[in-house]
Chains A and B, each alone.
Chain A
């Protein structure tokens, strides 16, 4: 183990909670996100227990509404959105571009404090009695009728939004200005390109959510009409503004995962990534077109047919760059020296599940099909394939890929592979039956259902228990790895990025000497990696 590293630079609480080291802030985020992930997961567990039987028997209907809202709010804003950018991104971005830190280290710490403040406020709303509006906070229910802690929860989300903005801003500026000598834009690893695209969305979409939530708060707290139809307001306006953020937010969740997969696939295929430029510009295209498709959440909300047609067309269009990426990853593996380590297994899982999620997204972009399946479990299954099958699988892939770099320790590969396979099967068993349920007409957000749907719901609940084991296993072997794991070398996987040229775990200043980049990423000479810099 590297003698002088960021982990043994100080052991006091102060050296962690007032650190400006991007690597330590990443660890702070990581610990917080595990906490929120298990809170959101607990709500999901209760939902799946309730749905195992057709009758409403486990919790009251009021409680059920609060459970799925809590699951959505926590998972979207306090796990998925910050997941890869704030943990892996925070840790890896400066290392990957050969910088000593992010451009604004103190802003980075502030971002974590804002996140924790927003999270605490939202948790307070949940502990005090919960929210029953669904994570979308649709008006006028959320502003006029709901008797739950909407205002507090919305305030929490509002605060957490500033954390997102600061992180996005920091990444954009860092990637523009702090790249090592020789690291041109087209030599940037694709993880950096994806986080750049993600950051643009964070900076440009989050403020719109902030303003929308402020208007919602004004209406709820002061009882004035902004979206309320009684006073001439337009409830659809809320939906437009909400989805103007929340659809790009889907790309905030999936783009970083795509970036991870673009790192993992060439590394474990020991081959250059196929079509680097296409993947780069597909990331940018997804971010750009992603801003123009929000209306597909509102096809049945009473929008003009012409608007629906335009949104439908654009939604098909945004699928093209995503599909190009999938083909690029598959082509990269073609004739490669593939190794089946845990990160690669998670990457396989991502590619398969994301493809199913993406293809069913095309069903939903079709106006007529959407009318049939909107507000059913088909939607629930579709977005879980993207957000859990895609984003979370990518997060786990990245975690397993960079774990030796972050901790300086290896983990038991056998258990990690087992967890990856378990999560893949558990996931499919949980969510594939929901496609069928939705197609048969079971609406989302109901706690009871006709008995003929029970078989699919039981399958789904059984799958959820397997998935839960798949997600819990890493806790154990990662804990073991920290305590007992064998030391990791600087480049255990044979990867080419700059982050692998510095010791594991990296020293506080990242590189003993600023590296000079001499070649593009993912260069392999007959399976032998050619690092981007000769020596860090």
Chain B
């Protein structure tokens, strides 16, 4: 953990740290609007086709979804620990926390894939085998949003898992110079988590309040 070189466009380490952190926040602002557009369109239909969407939402696997929420929240806690221990200058602890984070992320993906497979068996996948006769066109719209939203979220999570795995490897083998990388990837990981926090009630809990 000696002196390190900074990018030639910066004059101090602090300036570099503040710059890359702001860069990540600006990127997350873009991501908020990206998912925000999808969620806004979904809410539009959710309000318009209230009863049909509630009926369609009852076909989602709420138990698996709830379990996944717990898994993802735990992963975020691990990520937070990784950032804290890394900032404290430890080398072994952050690696362990990062491995735990990546593993929990993988568990989420496995559970999610199981859900998708079950839905495929029940003829709920639009464009592939959706049973229009049984469920109707509006339910198809619900499931398009369901697959788009959870699919894009899973894609973001896979990117997150790759980043976290690389980070664990880089810290573990002492290839990473001290800096902001862990915190930046942490920000991204928490963001992907927050997207799920919005998706879970919107998709799974529609009409399940009684």
Contacts and interface: CB of A to CB of B under 8 A. Distances in A.
A and B together in one complex:
yes
A214 B37 CA distance: 11
Interface SS of chain A: helix, strand, loop or mixed?
Answer: helix
Contacts of A363: none
Contact of A204 (B22, B23, B29, B140): B29
Contacts of A208: 33-34, 36-37
Contacts of B49: 232
Contact of A514 (B11, B38, B130, B141): B11
B9 A218 contact: no
26 contacts: A100-B8, A101-B8, A104-B23, A169-B26, A173-B26, A176-B19, A177-B19, A203-B33, A204-B29, A207-B31, A208-B37, A210-B37, A211-B35, A214-B148, A218-B144, A218-B148, A222-B127, A224-B126, A224-B127, A224-B144, A225-B144, A226-B144, A231-B137, A231-B141, A232-B137, A232-B138
Given A203-B29, A231-B137, A237-B44, A173 B23 contact: yes
A231 B23 contact: no
B41 interface: yes
A105 B9 contact: yes
Interface of B: 8-11, 15, 18-19, 22-23, 26-27, 29-31, 33-38, 40-41, 44-45, 48-49, 126-127, 130, 137-138, 140-141, 144, 148
A2 B33 CA distance: 45
Contacts of A101: 8-9
Given A172-B22, A176-B19, 8 more contacts: A101-B9, A169-B30, A177-B22, A211-B35, A218-B148, A225-B140, A232-B137, A232-B141
B43 to A, nearest CB: 11
A165 B137 contact: no
Given A178-B19, A223-B127, A206 B30 contact: yes
A412 interface: no
Given A177-B18, A222-B127, A169 B27 contact: yes
Interface of A: 99-105, 165, 169, 172-173, 176-178, 203-208, 210-212, 214-215, 218, 222-226, 230-234, 237, 241, 244, 509, 514
A234 B48 contact: yes
A214 B148 CA distance: 9
A34 B142 CA distance: 45
Nearest to B25: A173
A78 to B, nearest CB: 21
A-B interface, 5 closest residue pairs, ranked by CB to CB distance from nearest: A222-B127, A207-B34, A211-B37, A231-B137, A177-B19
B51 to A, nearest CB: 13
Nearest to A208: B37
Nearest to B35: A211
A207 B33 contact: yes
Contact of A169 (B23, B37, B127, B137): B23
Contacts of A215: 38, 41, 148
Contacts of A172: 22, 26
B34 A211 contact: yes
Given A218-B144, A222-B126, A223-B127, A207 B30 contact: yes
Nearest to B128: A222
Contact of B141 (A105, A169, A225, A509): A225
Contacts of B29: 203-204
A283 B23 CA distance: 22
Contact of A178 (B9, B36, B38, B140): B9
Nearest to B9: A101
Contacts of B44: 234, 237
A230 B44 CA distance: 17
B15 A177 contact: yes
B38 A231 contact: no
Contacts of A103: 9, 19, 23
A119 to B, nearest CB: 21
Nearest to B130: A224
Contacts of B22: 172-173, 176-177
B56 to A, nearest CB: 12
A161 to B, nearest CB: 10
Nearest to A509: B8
Nearest to A172: B26
Nearest to B44: A237
Contacts of B36: 207-208
Contacts of A226: 41, 141, 144
A118 to B, nearest CB: 17
Contact of A224 (B15, B27, B30, B140): B140
Contacts of B37: 207-208, 210-212, 241, 244
A109 B80 CA distance: 32
Nearest to A244: B37
Most buried by A among B18, B38, B48: B38
Contacts of B34: 207-208, 210-211
Contacts of B40: 241
Contacts of A205: 33
A214 B41 CA distance: 12
Nearest to B39: A211
